[in-house]
């Protein structure tokens, strides 16, 4: 275990034929930050990914595998836990995006989450290709899947499509604040949005 402050910055930019893989494992009592940002364009498509996580004054574990390649999309899988000490908290934002522009029209979809917690165990999976996107997240307390996290969390998906025959837009946001557990599964394909699934148990507010 590391005592003190640890910061990791990871900014991959994929060009034709290149690929990037990073694996991160951290256990720290103190403070931790992680930044990642990707933009990858291939032909008529673009995929992007970003994450900013910062925990201060707490016991933190963090594991993440990130893979990206030009024309192959992006995949991220992470787990993290945080227990506050002396008034500490953890903030995290993660988002994945896909954009396509061709003779048939344009389509953009983005999905992700934001959270601010004092006690939480989090797992998320993100992936995107030129015409598809998926984002899953689970948040609960650090004493098992039936325990509740403390703080607030928000998930979202935004879709905008335009073609010669018309336009389509969709937005969905789920927010919790208090003691809670949340499960969110989001997927998007070229033909539109696959229904999202949400599971929430909260002692506080949910909207």
- Separation between Cα atoms, residue 128 and residue 190, nearest integer Å: 12
The mean pLDDT value of the chain amounts to 86
Prediction pTM value:
0.84
Give pLDDT, residue 192: 43
Chain position carrying tokens 């039936």: 146
Q: Is the dihedral of CA 179, 93, 79, 29 positive or negative?
A: negative
Lowest mean pLDDT among 21-35, 48-62, 186-200: 186-200
Range of the domain at 190: 2-206
Cβ pair 186, 111 in contact under 8 A: yes
- Report the number of distinct structural domains present in the chain: 1
Start-to-end CA distance of the chain, whole Å, equals 38
- 145-173 pLDDT per residue, tens: 999 999 999 999 999 999 888 999 999 99
- Separation between Cα atoms, residue 173 and residue 111, nearest integer Å: 10
């Amino acid at each position: 275990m590391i005592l003190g402050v640890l910061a990791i910055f990871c900014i991959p930019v994929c060009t034709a034929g290149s690929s990037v893989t990073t694996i991160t494992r951290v256990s720290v009592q103190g403070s931790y930050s992680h930044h990642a940002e990707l933009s990858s364009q291939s032909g008529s498509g673009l995929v992007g990914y970003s994450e900013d996580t910062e925990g201060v004054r707490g016991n933190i574990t963090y594991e993440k595998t990130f893979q990206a390649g030009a024309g192959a999309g992006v995949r991220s899988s992470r787990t993290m836990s945080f227990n506050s000490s002396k008034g500490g908290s953890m903030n995290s934002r993660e988002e994945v995006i896909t954009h396509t522009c061709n003779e048939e029209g344009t389509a953009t979809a983005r999905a992700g989450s934001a959270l601010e917690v004092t006690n939480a165990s989090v797992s998320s999976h993100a992936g995107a290709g030129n015409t598809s996107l998926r984002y899953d997240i689970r948040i609960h307390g650090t004493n098992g899947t039936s325990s509740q996290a403390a703080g607030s969390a928000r998930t979202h998906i935004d879709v905008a499509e335009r073609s010669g025959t018309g336009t389509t837009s969709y937005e969905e946001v789920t927010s919790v604040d208090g003691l809670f557990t949340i499960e969110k599964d989001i997927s998007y394909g070229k033909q539109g949005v696959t229904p999202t699934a949400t599971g929430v148990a909260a002692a506080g507010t949910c909207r």
